[in-house]
Every structure is written in C-alpha cells, then in structure tokens.
Amino acid sequence: MIILGIEGGGTRTSALLVDSADNTVLKTVSAGPGNLRLLSGEALVSLLGEIRSQLPVEPDRIGIGFAGVRSDGDRERLTRQVAQHWPGVPAVVSDDLLVALEAAEWRGDCAVQVLLVSGTGSCCLGRHRDGRVVKVGGRGHLIGDRGSSCDIAMHTLRSIATIADIRAGLPPLGADILTFLQMNDPESLIEWSMSASRTELASIAQVVFEAAVTRQDEIAVPILKRMAYRLSKDVVQCAARMAKPGEKVQFVLNGSVLLKNPEFTSCVIGRIGAGWPQSEVAPLLRPGVWGAVEMARKLGDETTARPFMPRQNVSDESEQKLANWRPVSASPTEWQNPKSSRLSELPLREAIELMLTEDATIPAKILAESAAIEWTVREVVRAFAEGGRLIYCGAGTSGRLGVLDASECPPTFRTPGNLVQGIIAGGRTALWSAVEGAEDDLAGGQQAIASRRVSAKDVVVGISASGHAPFVWGCLGEAKRRGAKTVLLCCNPAYRDHPLPDKAILPDTGPEILTGSTRLKAGTATKLILNLITTLAMTHSGKVVGNLMIDLNPSNTKLRDRAVRIVQQLTGADEATAFGALEGNGWLVRAASEALVLRKE
C-alpha cells in the first residue's frame, strides 16, 4: 500500500510518499507554507497541485495535517481540496500538532502524551489515551507564543533598548544584532521593528543563542533562562489538565528552538522533570510529516487521531445533542422562482416592478409569525430586566444583519455595548468579506457562545435564511445547554417543530428572484423582524415614551437637534430652555426632561 503524508507548517510544507510494506520512501517533496488560515483558495489548490505533480505514483491513502486547521469548517475545506486532487483516495485530515504527536512513538507506560513545540511560534498539545485533547498557547507572537523565537527576540530588543538608555550606549548583544541585520545605527531598529515580519523577527533568536553560548552574554543568558521557565511551565500545565497525579507523562519536544539548541533544551528538560517528576522527556526523533503517514496507515482503525483541534470548554453532552441538527428539508430560499426565470432578459422597468412586487409579499409572511415574535420580545424584555442580554448569531448576510441591529442599539437607546450583541461566523473579517468554511463550523458556534459566557439570563437568536448553517446550530445548542432561551429565525417553515430552539420564527418568503440569493427577500424579512424585536423590547423596557426615544445618545449635531426636539415635545419647553436643560444634564434626554418637569411643579 502506498501512503502519502503531508505536513503543512507556517514556513514550508513537507510531503512523503511511502511504501507501507517496509516504510521505503518513494518520494520527498518540499513546497511553500501550509497554514490553512493564510492560504487563499487559489493558493491552496496550487500548493496541493504542486505536490501531486511531483509524485511518481498515485497514493492508496493520504494523511494530511496543516497549521491553521482549528474547526469543522477548516477541516471540510481541506478535505474538499484533497478529494479534488486525489479523487476516491481515502484521506484523514488533521492539524499539524496532532500530526507531530503521531510521529512520536507512544510509550506503553505513559497515560498522557504532550507535545511541546518551540520554533518561530510555540504551542503545547496534550492527548490522553481516552481520547481527550488539550491545547495550551499558540496564540501568535503578539499575545502568545511564550518561549518561542519571536518571544526571545522581542524580549531581547526591549532589554537592549532599556540598557542602552541607562548606559548611554549599545551593549555587545545590541551590536551583534545590528551586524546581523546589516544596520549602521541603533535608530534603524525602530523602523525595522515596525515592519518586520514574524519570520524576520524570529531570526534574531539565533543571535541571542550564539551570544549566550560563546560568551555567556549578560542579556542573552537571563532571557533564555526565563524562556526555558515559560516553556516548561506551559507544558507542565498542559499535562496537569489531562493527567491525574502520579500518572506518567511522555513529553515530546519539537521545533527549531528545542532541536537546535542543546544547552537550552537541557534546561527545559530539567525544569519539566522538576515540575512533573513522573515524566519521560525526549525530542521528536523523526520529522513530523511521518505522523501524517501514520494517521493514514490507521485509517479505519478506532485509534485514528482526531481530525481537528477540538474547541475548548465545549462539552461532549452538547456535541451529542447536536448530532441531528442536519437539514430537515430543502429550503424554499434555494428553489428557483418561476416568476423570474427570464430575469436576465427583462427590461429594467419590468425587473424593478417584479422585485418590488415580490418584496410586497414579505409583511404578510412576517405577520403570520406574530405569536412567535411576541413571545421572543417578551423573553428579551425579561432578560433585560434580569441583567441578561440579547445575542444574535448568524453566518454571511444573516450574521451581518444581526451585528447591524446590535450596533444600532447603543446610539438609539443608550444601551451598554454588550446588552445586544451580534456574533458572525468567521469573526470580524466576515463583516466585509466571505470567510471560507465559517458557516460550516458547528464547533465554532459552540465556542462563540461559550466565550460570551452565555447563561440562563440571556436570549440567543440564531439567524439562518435556509436553516442549514451548522455554525448557527452550534450556537443554539450550546446556548440551550447553558440554560438560555433560544430562538431560530429562518425562512424555512420545515423547522416548525424542531426540538432544539425554544421558539421558531419562520416567515415563508419563498424562492428568491435571483435563485439562492438570500440577501434579497430573506434578508429583508430578517431585518424587519430584528427591527421588531429590539424596537419593541426597548419600548417595553422603558426606553420610549409615546414614540419618542427618551434614552437617545446624541453623539452628533443631527442627534443633538433631535434630542432638543424630544425634550420640547415631552415638556412643552422652548428650544433655548430645552437646549440648556440638556447641557446641564450631560445631554441625557430623560434627565433633562425630568428636570424641566420638576421645575414646573
């Protein structure tokens, strides 16, 4: 059997084609960086295509692990591309950390195996024989990667700058770094540090190691001792989250910092032994890409490695509840609309009339959902009264509409920024561009709700035009597990009796004029319903008198003019009096109005 193993990292991608009968290497391939989060669709296709073009024979099985595979959506994206390049070939897809662990031989007397990686970045990954997996660190060089080359470099540069200020001159290590970077004066470091890439920054670490070894440099030595302490502390903490006291742990070391600097590594090993006496510590003896080969070899075996990094703080119980989230029916939003079958040929006037005629059907569809909308508004009012929140979650257009409605509450009703929140699959980037695979990330939805610390006080509204977005179901499932009230808002009536949400708002807007483009009627219906929920919930929470916004936040000239008019209407005061009352009460409409009423009395 011929096995192809692929390991994608931040710097390069390695591939091995192996005859599994005797582990003979038939072909070795090296290609560009393989961090899935940093690869466009075109770049990923090109990378896999480059590997495939260099193989002398087709593989029978494939194991592949890329950096950046953190979610269901990531895994499915990579799986699709592997299937397109090697149709019909069984494959297992993972992340690069699990691949590295698979490359290490698991000692029979160890209950837990923990990988410590320190190179450009750093990370710890532990797994128990019972299948549990825990990750510590690996959050990038700005807020994480403790004890990595980047961490060493940043601490060194700051120390050099501080000592230079105290002594009015660069220390020897500073001069070494200027020489390494081909710079003529210390001021050049300022501009360089602002534009240097992560890899360029990490390269300084080799200068620090050399200075520590050759002359016991006064800056390099204490910094490296501190880095060794950080790495050992993180990896022991990772073990403690998985192993019971007394259980033996196998620590596996990998990455250029640990594999190329023996004195430093000895220090790390000593500290690990002190922190976890029941341990066996050793460097990874073969390249991580062999782990991808091992994963492929086990395909079909129950011991196959987990296919992706599980999210933190998500329970197995929640996973089980979500097992049948799958679509219950094809959504009407995906059907072809017979009225617009000739849309591309219609004169503009007729196309405009057709679109507006279709939009005119939306209010009646929403009105049919009045009972569910009323229930939702009452629950949101209850949540606000009890210190809870309204949280929207969605993907694509649905997610953007939720974020939009949430963002309009603070200026309209002077609410705290966290009272009404929007969660969109893929995070900030997805607000203005599509994030591939984000909608399919069920575990990402669970994690988003866990990270917002949702509780029984909250109301969570999942928005999905078709009802088919796994991210939204992940949000709803985790919210329900935590006791929150859950509402599904979608345009697929087949979800009427779905057991997961507490209530479903399901306007049947039917097929779109442009087939499948749910930013049209489904999007319009969604915006109208969100308007109803927040406007009426705020009204019934005391934020409105009559039809006036008494908690308006007048943050610009237009809104200040509006605030003056509202105070005039509420109190009968003239413009100057209303303006003065607002200025005297910090431009709080409610307080200014009450002050004028009291003055009259």
Q: CA-CA distances (angstroms) from residue 242 to 132, 134, 245, 309, 333?
A: 8, 7, 10, 15, 46
The span from the CA of 306 to the CA of 63, in Å, is 12
Q: CA-CA distances (angstroms) from residue 320 to 309, 394, 478?
A: 18, 21, 11
The residue type found at 249 is V
H-run or E-run covering 204: none
Is 408 an annotated catalytic residue? yes
Q: CA-CA distances (angstroms) from residue 434 to 76, 334, 431, 448?
A: 16, 19, 8, 18
Residue pointed to by tokens 């500290």: 271
Q: CA-CA distances (angstroms) from residue 526 to 63, 75, 379, 397?
A: 42, 30, 19, 10
* Catalytic position from the list 408, 512, 583, 594: 408
Triad 539, 478, 426: Cα angle to 5°:
85
The answer to whether 470 and 445 have CB atoms below 8 angstroms apart is yes
* Catalytic position from the list 294, 439, 478, 512: 439
Who's near 540: CB < 8 A, 6+ residues apart?
377, 381
The answer to whether 476 and 506 have CB atoms below 8 angstroms apart is no
The residue type found at 484 is A
**The dihedral sign for the CA sequence 184, 189, 190, 196:** positive
Which residue(s) pair with 136 in the sheet? 124
**The dihedral sign for the CA sequence 327, 332, 333, 337:** positive
Task: List strands edge to edge, sheet with 2-8.
Answer: 24-31, 13-19, 2-8, 61-66, 91-95
Q: Does residue 148 come out as left (phi exceeding 0), alpha (psi in the -120 to 50 range) or beta?
A: beta
The span from the CA of 221 to the CA of 218, in Å, is 6
Which residue(s) pair with 66 in the sheet? 8, 95
The span from the CA of 412 to the CA of 429, in Å, is 25
Residue ranges with strand state E in 112-269: 112-118, 122-128, 133-137, 249-254
The span from the CA of 324 to the CA of 320, in Å, is 8
Is 601 an annotated catalytic residue? no
The answer to whether 438 and 425 have CB atoms below 8 angstroms apart is yes
Which residue(s) pair with 64 in the sheet? 6, 93
Which residue(s) pair with 114 in the sheet? 126, 251
Who's near 123: CB < 8 A, 6+ residues apart?
97, 117, 135, 136, 137, 138, 145
Q: Which two tokens stand for residue 298?
A: 């086990």
Of 533, 530, 507, 529, residue with least CA distance to 333? 507
- Residues involved in catalysis: 408, 439
